[in-house]
Amino acid sequence: MTGHDHAHDHPSDDPHDHPHDHGALGEMDLRVRALESVLTQKGYIDPAALDALIDTYQTRVGPRNGARVVARAWVDPAFRTWLLADATAAIASLGYTGRQGEHMVAVENTDALHHMVVCTLCSCYPWPVLGLPPTWYKSAPYRSRVVKDPRGVLADFGVALPEATRIRVWDSTAEVRYLVIPQRPAGTESLSEDELAALVSRDSMIGTRLVEAPVQAGSPA
């Protein structure tokens, strides 16, 4: 596993033992779109059905799994301890296993330390708990910049951390993938586990967002 404190540059010889094409993502996107157009014209695929399938795995099914893991860790101290010690087993106990999730590590955000996740050479990502990786996670600018300027990247996502909070960037590989346990927001003590899970976003489990308490009825937005 590889962690990078924000004060250090990313080593250029970091090993990733997997046969990914590290070429320009823009060119690959064009090829995918061209292939999709051909298959659509021939009647082999329905673009609307394909978009619905991608949306399901990218924004609903996958991230909801990870959100349930986080919520359980927030309400169950024993599970939280297990998750931090052996994330693969703890996550599997909730039924979330499979390819791209065989070797998981959970890292916990605190007031003193904030974690972010990247795959600097391609797009290694914990599919069983987060679904499909977002486009920005696979982009060259994010992959290169987050290691050198994590505060700047967080600012782009609208996140401003106290200067005293240290930032650590974890580099996912074919062998190890990471899940960030975001901080539980204040004022959520009365919420159920399901209600807490509904607050947790995909980006907060990558480390590019914070989890916020729900706005109470009658409270200023």
37 catalytic per annotation: no
**Cβ count within 10 A of residue 103:** 14
Q: Given the residues 122, 172, 201, 204, select the one marked as catalytic.
A: 122
Q: Given the residues 37, 93, 123, 201, select the one marked as catalytic.
A: 123
119 catalytic per annotation: yes
Q: Given the residues 124, 172, 201, 204, select the one marked as catalytic.
A: 124
122 catalytic per annotation: yes
Q: Given the residues 37, 93, 119, 172, select the one marked as catalytic.
A: 119
**Cβ count within 10 A of residue 58:** 17
Contacts (Cβ under 8 Å, ≥6 apart) of 117: 169, 170, 172, 178, 180, 206, 207
Contact between 205 and 63 (Cβ < 8 Å): yes
139 catalytic per annotation: no
Q: What letter does residue 16 receive in the DSSP assignment?
A: -
Residue 105: strand pairing partners = 178
- How far, in Å, are 28, 63, 201 from residue 123 at the CA level? 13, 16, 19
Where in the sequence numbering do the catalytic residues fall? Answer: 119, 122-124
